[in-house]
Amino acid sequence: MSLPRIELIGLPSDANSSFERGPAQAPAAIRQALWSDRGNLACEDGQEIGIHFELTDRGDLPLTESASDDALITAEVEASIRSGAVPLALGGDHAMSHAVVRGVHAVHGPVTILHFDAHPDLYDNFEDNPRSHASPFARIMEAGLASRLVQVGIRTLNAHCRAQAARFGVEIVPMADFAPDTVPVLQGPLYISIDLDGIDPAEAPGVSHPEPGGLTVREVLAVLRRQTALIVGADVVELNPRFDSNERTAILAAKLVRELAALVVRNERQSLMTLG
């Protein structure tokens, strides 16, 4: 019997970043940290890459930093799923999540999204760019690609984004008095999006928009561990190697890739046991 398979898809683009360029360099930095001899391939639940599941790589897409990139991303994500894998996208800036979710939706229909971020990314048209990395979840929700969106780590909610959240019925878990068990256990199909600036910059300095007062790595992992739904896709985005310190944020991104992959496999096995 073949092992469960998670496929990495590199999306080296930061054309829709609003402040600093650099996330286009992130897929290579995450891969280097992921396969480095500084650590091993074990996950916190005891699963090991190559023993309990396969983590394969479709490589970086040949993005041109134009609007045509969206269709290419969507097609690649859909192809990954139809091959029997679960896609895990490596950004790149957060703009690409819209195209990734569209590819997931093509196979699974509307998804539930668990979104970690300092920012809600719900702007209708940030700086005259509807494809901005500040806008992907507005595009996702208005297109009906998600049936539910839960956001964790948000600490920059302005009036416009508050109105957008109300418009789309977005659930924002407050950062004040945050505890992992305040995040709901969601139904599937589940998509998980992790913007690294959702984590406090003391632990994740290599981002373009550091925002103090964020989540700890342990809190993020605790939220993930509580999720039991079938996971159909994920992304880790907004690493900016230009601002990283001793590869700390790249190493964190690689850990999150491992833990997301392990969670995909754990939940899939539990789902099969329930059906059986």
- Structural domain spans, the chain: 5-110+192-275
The domain 5-110+192-275: what is its CATH number? 3.40.800.10
Please check whether residue 119 is in contact with residue 153, taking contact to mean a CB–CB distance below 8 angstroms. no
Mean pLDDT over 135-147 rounds to: 97
Q: What is the pLDDT of residue 16?
A: 83
Judged against a pLDDT cut of 60, whether residue 276 lies above it is answered with no
| pTM, to two decimals | 0.96
Q: What is the pLDDT of residue 17?
A: 85
Q: What is the pLDDT of residue 127?
A: 82
1-37, pLDDT tens digit by residue? 578 999 999 999 998 888 889 899 999 999 999 999 9
Q: What are phi and psi of 89, to 5 degrees?
A: -85, 140
221-262, pLDDT tens digit by residue? 999 999 999 999 999 999 999 999 999 999 999 999 999 999
pLDDT > 90 in the chain, percent: 88
Q: What is the pLDDT of residue 1?
A: 56
- As a whole number of angstroms, the distance between CA 261 and CA 256 comes to 8
Please name which of 139, 105, 110 lies closest in space to residue 122, comparing C-alpha atoms.
Answer: 139
90-117, pLDDT tens digit by residue? 999 999 999 999 999 999 999 999 999 9
Q: What is the pLDDT of residue 275?
A: 64
pLDDT > 70 in the chain, percent: 99
Tokens read off for 216: 């700890």
Q: What is the pLDDT of residue 272?
A: 76
Q: What are phi and psi of 173, to 5 degrees?
A: -85, 120
Mean pLDDT over 73-100 rounds to: 97
Q: What is the pLDDT of residue 188?
A: 92
Three-class SS of the chain: CCCCEEEEEEECCCCCCCCCCCHHHHHHHHHHHHCCCCCCCECCCCCEECCCEEEEEEEECCCCCCCCHHHHHHHHHHHHHHCCCEEEEEECCCCHHHHHHHHHHHHHCCEEEEEECCCCCCCCCECCECCCCCCHHHHHHHCCCEEEEEEECCCCCCHHHHHHHHHHCCEEECCCCCCHHHCCCCCCCEEEEEEHHHECCCCCCCECCCCCCCECHHHHHHHHHHCCCCEEEEEEECECHHHCCCCHHHHHHHHHHHHHHHHHHHHHHHHHHHHC
